[in-house]
Chain A
């Protein structure tokens, strides 16, 4: 028996039980539109790749990480004692940041291609839910090393919910596991980070990917306006898949570069009695809301400012999430243009407040 015969028999055996040929036939028939904005199609795949890197490195970190009072010491050991521990931790931290970046790029590309319109409303909503969970992943993971910066940044972050009337203080205490950020907070955040959030994220991700398979990639309105004969597309298998793999390779290269040239630093161990060091700030993807609240606090000082800030935020996020339900028209009419300007305004506000935030770090 030749190798080819053995491979062929093995494939037939598996195919008979799992129906691989049907999957392959489905993939062959699936097509991806080709146009001047096709570049943005890769960002969903890049996000998926980075999430897989997160899972892989996260499991490796889990082997040595000890939540609670030993948290800082265990991260120190991972970074300076364990062979290649620095690399695994660095890749985990960098890929988390790159994943947040690619999610944002993916979200805005979907927004401007109007890919949330009928029948893709659930795709948009599940994507927004994934963004929300990923943000909490970022927030909870940031505290786990328990160094000076992560401790004080989390402390500031957990003071924000206290502005919510009546229930704010209770929510903040529940998240902290007490009145102060402590080893109990790390325990809670750890449980959230490795159990609760993956349990939410994975089914949501599966649902999101299933919707992408079901409805395919949306073309921008300018492309949809063209007659069917003028629209171009390529087969998903193997043409688009090869390109996707090349993009994954570039992402891996960027990640390797960042992780090896700029290894993720570990600061000093936190001291709850020490004053907060200068330059405490949240991660870059939380800088914009943090700065917006700060700016609003300067205009409307006190409790009224905090409540107004949270209200404005809630309304803004709600408007953003519900866009498939009020920008429904396929034609680029008045409402479509308004949504477009809303997107541009959101990008401008995010960028401007992030820049101001970093500019004014003291």
Chain B
């Protein structure tokens, strides 16, 4: 459409975002939870006169500063880089709609980074109460970043009717607060807050596991046990918050989950349900493992145990982020933009005028420069299918369409083009937009890949002209 296509063979561009995002979420949510953990632990140490806790917290805050300040920020920039290339249309919408949101988000980022550094470097150098205040300033700023980013992330699933009413008129930013406090905002915020607390406890266990239990058994036992308690809010509240979140999700998206649950006994349940199961199973495992390995054996708790819990948390976080993304299907912004970057109201126009007519970055064969190295069909494949599918790799079309001849592939694409409400594919796949010529070109390209011609047969390539 308006941007070049970013083709990532085998892995798919979506997974480039996914891999960076899962890594980033693990650290950024720790930055919020850890921001509360540190001042609360420091206050506890001050009140109880625990000097041994004080030394441990100095070391922990160094770990915290390096992990969040370096890896958290670098991966955050990585996400911007990846989403800009993978979903430029959606990224553009987010930037234009939330200019004020991004501005204040970055102000709080700056406050976070500065106070985290000040907090670490002023241990034992300024008055203890003032030091604690620096910790609280950090905590406030980091919670504020969550409060803001949550509005933008939940907007993508449930932009709300008010915003959708002005979408495409140029007045979108006037409904900023309606878009921000959208239907899934509050359940999502509380869910993420619980996850932040859990991650604070889990990362703190990494640090506490390195205390020498032979030399400082009391310190190790108290730190390990206190850190495990940070998992309690999730254990208690998560089930209720997940139900609340589910209730606020649009009916069409709820259907993705219920369809999965209804068909679980036959094994044909949807990917989003599989991921939801992983979240539940892995979260329960984390609680059990933390109880057995850490809470009941705090002095013997070692780094391998802590890493096992961290890896489980990575698994749960990955599954959580994947489900959140899957739940938006077939949209990238609910009811406004399909997951391949086509705006919902533009679909009819593209059907009349052709998909490549509006693709600014496909070569035109009648210009003087070199012609396209790929066919019209491949250009349509990259634009309309490439954000979710690869040819050989993640959701591989060559494999998914194997066994079909040209006619069958054409019928399948026509079915996607018609996008009838009763088609099961309409629930999670966007329509194939374009003219009959576009359908034929895409069919030819996919047929060529699925049923390659005999060796020696002449290959006809129609260049990707407009």
Contact = CB atoms under 8 A, between A and B. Distances in A.
A257 B267 contact: no
A84 B264 CA distance: 8
A249 B304 contact: no
Given A80-B267, A257-B315, A261-B274, 5 more contacts: A86-B266, A242-B293, A246-B289, A250-B289, A253-B285
A245 B297 CA distance: 13
Contacts of B297: 239, 242-243
Contact of B285 (A85, A87, A234, A249): A249
B264 to A, nearest CB: 8
Contact of A87 (B267, B293, B296): B267
B292 A80 contact: no
A260 B300 contact: no
Contacts of B285: 249-250, 252-253
Contact of A253 (B267, B304, B312): B312
B288 A246 contact: yes
Nearest to A243: B293
A253 B293 contact: no
B308 interface: yes
B282 A234 contact: no
A257 B276 CA distance: 11
Interface residues of B, number: 24
B277 interface: yes
B266 A257 contact: no
Contacts of A238: 296
A256 interface: yes
Given A234-B300, A260-B278, A249 B289 contact: yes
Given A39-B304, A80-B267, A87-B267, A246 B281 contact: no
8 contacts: A34-B300, A39-B304, A87-B267, A242-B293, A250-B312, A253-B315, A257-B282, A260-B278
Contacts of B288: 246, 249
Main secondary structure of the interface of B (DSSP, over half): helix
A260 B289 contact: no
Nearest to A89: B267
A242 B265 contact: no
A83 interface: yes
Contact of A80 (B214, B266, B275, B304): B266
A336 interface: no
A263 B288 CA distance: 25
B292 A261 contact: no
Nearest to B267: A86
A246 B288 CA distance: 7
Interface in B269-297: 274-275, 277-278, 281-282, 285, 288-289, 292-293, 296-297
B281 A79 contact: no
Given A79-B267, A249-B285, A250-B312, A260 B277 contact: yes
A85 B265 CA distance: 8
A266 to B, nearest CB: 11
B282 A253 contact: yes
B282 A263 contact: no
A69 to B, nearest CB: 25
Contacts of A263: 267
Nearest to B293: A246
Contacts of A246: 288-289, 292-293, 305, 308
A260 B319 CA distance: 13
Nearest to B316: A253
Interface in A230-279: 232, 234, 238-239, 242-243, 245-246, 249-250, 252-253, 256-257, 260-261, 263
B402 to A, nearest CB: 12
A261 B267 CA distance: 10
Nearest to A252: B285
The 3 closest A-B pairs by CB, nearest first: A86-B267, A246-B292, A83-B265
B298 to A, nearest CB: 11
A114 B265 CA distance: 47
Given A84-B265, A242-B297, A253 B281 contact: yes
Given A84-B265, A86-B267, A250 B296 contact: no
Q: Output the residue of A232, A246, A256 with the most chain B CB within 10 A.
A: A246
A64 to B, nearest CB: 15
Contacts of B277: 256, 260
Nearest to A244: B292
B419 to A, nearest CB: 28
Contacts of A256: 277-278, 281
A249 B266 contact: no
Contacts of B274: 260-261
Nearest to B289: A246
Residue of A86, A234, A238, A260 with most chain B CB atoms under a 10 A cut-off: A260
A86 B264 CA distance: 10
A67 to B, nearest CB: 23
A239 B264 CA distance: 38
Nearest to B275: A261
Contacts of A245: 292
A102 B267 CA distance: 27
**Which of B214, B293, B305 has the largest count of A CB atoms less than 10 A from its CB?**
B293
Interface string A86-101: 1100100000000000
